[in-house]
Amino acid sequence: MTTTPHPASGDDQREHDLAEAVRTDIQSVEEPARLLRVSAMARSLLEEAKGVHLEERARDRMHRIYEQAIQEIAHSVAPELRDELERLRPSRNGDGTPTEMEIRVMQGQLVGWLEGVFQGIQAGLQLQQAAARQQQLGLHSGRALPRPQGEGNYL
């Protein structure tokens, strides 16, 4: 007589899927320190671009820094995130120096994308910690929980 394995419950499958998604998000950043440095630089440049009038040379320099930041990020993340960043890059009309508004849009988009990556990682880590706590509670479920102190029934 052969027995078939008992299918995983819906909760078990969701926990497995969630754990796999968390693992994928966390592993998608191959060099977190580099990514943090580039993110801080991009955020600072965005603030600079917002606060001052950028002449052509400054815009050209900002554009080169933006392109270098994209390359650094590409070396710091998994291919899936690299492809996503490339798809989301704003397209430019023309080959000349970008306008002030184009610089601000490019920098803002980059900072927003980086913040989204970091939020995904933070959420993944929080979910991982919650799952670990829940697993620990499950291991200790054989012990009776202490009764709360108090006199009598609540109602």
pLDDT digits (tens, 9 = 90+) for 88-131: 888 777 778 999 999 999 999 999 999 998 888 888 888 888 88
Q: Does residue 79 have a pLDDT over 80?
A: yes
Q: Does residue 64 have a pLDDT over 90?
A: yes
Q: Is 139 exposed, middle or buried (0-12, 13-18, 19+ CB in 10 A)?
A: exposed
Q: Give the whole-angstrom CA distance, residue 111 versus residue 71.
A: 15
Least confident window among 5-9, 13-17, 69-73: 5-9
**Helix or strand run (H / E) with residue 87:** helix 79-88
Q: Give the whole-angstrom CA distance, residue 82 versus residue 70.
A: 9
Pair 113, 85: CB distance under 8 Å? yes
Task: Show the tokens assigned to 31.
Answer: 């060099």
Q: Does residue 140 have a pLDDT over 90?
A: no
List the one residue out of 84, 86, 91, 87 whose CA is nearest residue 117: 84
Q: Does residue 134 have a pLDDT over 90?
A: no
- The residue ranges of every structural domain in the chain are 27-135
Task: Show the tokens assigned to 99.
Answer: 């306008």
More confident site: 61 or 32: 61
The pTM of this model reads 0.68
Q: Give the whole-angstrom CA distance, residue 109 versus residue 70.
A: 11
Task: Share the mean pLDDT of the chain.
Answer: 80
Neighbours of 22 (CB within 10 A): 20
Least confident window among 24-33, 46-55, 90-99, 128-137: 24-33
